[in-house]
Amino acid sequence: MSAASVVARLREGLGDRVDTSPAALQTARADKSGHAASGAPIAVVHAASVADVQATLRIATATGTPVVTRGAGTGLAGGANAGAGEISLSVRGMDRILEVRADDQLAVVEPGILNADLNAALAEHGLWWAPDPASRAISTVGGNIATGAGGLLCAKYGVVRDAVLGVDVVLADGRLLTLGHRTVKGVTGLDLTSLVIGSEGTLGVIVGATLKLRRLVPGDVCTVAATFPDVRTAAEASAAVTASGVQPSIMELMDAASLAAVHALLDLEAPAPGAAQLTIQTDGPAAGAEADTIADVLRGAGGIVAVSHDREEGERLLAIRRSMHPAMETLGTTLIEDVSVPRSAMPAMFDEIARVERERGVTIPTVAHAGDGNLHPNFIFDAEPDEFGVVEAPAYIWDAADDLFRAALRLGGTLTGEHGVGVLKRRWLADELGDDQWRLQREITRVFDPQGILNPGKVF
């Protein structure tokens, strides 16, 4: 069926929720990965209800039209990019909080609510939802679930998979499924909730979620910042903190290039050449004592250490880490990568990054969520944006990334700790999964979506 006929059917069913303005179509081509789809989608549907999503998918199934679900478009792997012949289905407008239960420590939400908006509302009940991707001010809960997002607090407070009790999903044919439980425990049948978490739009459209909440943590937040002569020493110091048995809420590592770029951006005195930094926070009733213990461990590991028991001063120390992305933009265009390795392999992974830089003549400033072994190497390059402001990474950058991915796999790690596969990493997926598992996963998507209209060309 022609694109025009599909759009006509969408308009008939969904009226002015169907947007074909050039600006909307161009926006739907790209997320924040730097990658954009070839061509533009045929329409953006701004769904306002579950019924809108169902209507869109029924038309998509009847016409064999691919559907790419989109939240706030902050993904870093191209998973929400919609291209020629596709419908971009935005659930950003479905942003209500339907229920908050302090006694059951759960909330029921629509997918389009921003993570930070949800947490602002939950704070009034003394509650919070722990997943805290760095994008939390601009990314949606539905997108966090669809990508299986992580964040800074994961080593102590878990990832999205640990914080979702159930999801409501519309299948390719428009049927609505309610998966999971409202209970803490529940083992009836297969755990399809976990299967949908991180499935990047390939199994269905998430139209609602029952979230597992925590009570706000009472007590202080203390912050420890420590500089080390080089990144390997800093990585070993972070391992010593983990080995000490004290569990920080946040443990961020910045290598020399990252630290220097942020200091330049913020007009701070330049760090010593080669110096790397750990920024660590503790929280809860024992935060002060834990921060002091960590400070001792870091000093023993060769760090120059500053400790703050003041929450605001701590935020100033952490601001250096939070300025990473703007600092990278001052260096050029960035491909943000996301490998994860066993914690013990962090020093070796930094060695591998240095090797790739040296052998391939590329600059890869790297920050890491050191408490859980998740590294974000930033590949810097120069490139002109195309007419839509989108910049593609050149081949030599992808070759360097390939080298780095394979090193992570050799160290027992994974291609992506928290960003997802999307379009950017699908060519490496079978290397990690093996061909048998890759095919099995593909067949599972076909059970949910026999026609293959949900986010085709993504992940697999």
Q: Comparing C-alpha atoms, which of 110, 210, 118 is closest to residue 165?
A: 210
Which residues, other chains included, contact 84 with Cβ-Cβ below 8 Å and sequence gap of 6+? 37, 38, 39, 40, 41, 42
Question: Applying CB under 8 A, which part among 66-74, 181-189, 273-281, 314-322 lies near its own copies?
Answer: 181-189
432 lines the binding site for its own copies (CB under 8 A): yes
448 lines the binding site for its own copies (CB under 8 A): yes
Q: What's the rounded Cα separation, in Å, for the pair 239 and 438?
A: 33
For its own copies, the closer of residues 157 and 381 by Cβ is: 157
CB of 372 to its own copies, least distance (A): 4
| Residue type (1 letter), 205 | V
Kindly determine how many residues on this chain lie close enough to bind its own copies according to the rule CB under 8 A.
Answer: 82
Rounded to the nearest 5°, which phi and psi values hold at 374?
-100, 120
Which residues, other chains included, contact 123 with Cβ-Cβ below 8 Å and sequence gap of 6+? 216
> What residues numbered 124-163 form the site for its own copies, per CB under 8 A?
126, 147-148, 150, 154-155, 158-159, 161-162
One of 50, 51, 116, 177 touching its own copies (CB under 8 A)? 177
For its own copies, the closer of residues 186 and 326 by Cβ is: 186
Rounded to the nearest 5°, which phi and psi values hold at 2?
-70, 155
CB of 364 to its own copies, least distance (A): 20
CB of 435 to its own copies, least distance (A): 10
CB of 281 to its own copies, least distance (A): 17
Q: Comparing C-alpha atoms, which of 134, 164, 137 is closest to residue 148?
A: 164
Q: Are 147 and 429 in contact (CB under 8 A)?
A: no
443 lines the binding site for its own copies (CB under 8 A): yes
CB of 451 to its own copies, least distance (A): 15
Question: Applying CB under 8 A, which part among 39-47, 132-140, 328-336, 435-443 lies near its own copies?
Answer: 435-443
For its own copies, the closer of residues 174 and 303 by Cβ is: 174
Question: Applying CB under 8 A, which part among 4-12, 89-97, 311-319, 430-438 lies near its own copies?
Answer: 430-438
Rounded to the nearest 5°, which phi and psi values hold at 97?
-95, 120
For its own copies, the closer of residues 23 and 447 by Cβ is: 447
CB of 315 to its own copies, least distance (A): 24
For its own copies, the closer of residues 421 and 453 by Cβ is: 421
For its own copies, the closer of residues 14 and 280 by Cβ is: 280
Q: Binding string, 73-102, against its own copies, x = CB under 8 A? A: ----------------------------xx
CB of 208 to its own copies, least distance (A): 15
CB of 269 to its own copies, least distance (A): 34
Which residues, other chains included, contact 454 with Cβ-Cβ below 8 Å and sequence gap of 6+? 66, 67, 69, 172, 201, 202, 203, 204, 205, 445, 448
Exposed e or buried b for every residue in 431-448, given b needs 16+ CB within 10 A?
Answer: ebeeeeeeeebeeebeeb
Q: What's the rounded Cα separation, in Å, for the pair 218 and 276?
A: 31
For its own copies, the closer of residues 64 and 126 by Cβ is: 126
Q: What's the rounded Cα separation, in Å, for the pair 118 and 121?
A: 5
Q: Where are the alpha helices (DSSP H) in 301-425?
A: 311-322, 324-329, 346-360, 395-410
> What residues numbered 372-401 form the site for its own copies, per CB under 8 A?
372-374
The 10 Å Cβ neighbour count of residue 175 is: 12
For its own copies, the closer of residues 256 and 454 by Cβ is: 454
Q: What's the rounded Cα separation, in Å, for the pair 43 and 63?
A: 14
Q: Comparing C-alpha atoms, which of 79, 146, 35, 34 is closest to residue 459?
A: 79
50 lines the binding site for its own copies (CB under 8 A): no
First CA to last CA distance, the chain: 25
> What residues numbered 283-342 form the site for its own copies, per CB under 8 A?
285-286, 340-342
> What residues numbered 249-278 form the site for its own copies, per CB under 8 A?
none
For its own copies, the closer of residues 28 and 287 by Cβ is: 287
The 10 Å Cβ neighbour count of residue 342 is: 14
> What residues numbered 200-239 form the site for its own copies, per CB under 8 A?
203, 215, 218, 239
187 lines the binding site for its own copies (CB under 8 A): yes
One of 344, 355, 383, 427 touching its own copies (CB under 8 A)? 344
> What residues numbered 401-420 form the site for its own copies, per CB under 8 A?
412-420
Q: What's the rounded Cα separation, in Å, for the pair 29 and 202?
A: 17
Q: What's the rounded Cα separation, in Å, for the pair 57 and 51?
A: 10
CB of 308 to its own copies, least distance (A): 22
Q: Are 53 and 207 in contact (CB under 8 A)?
A: yes
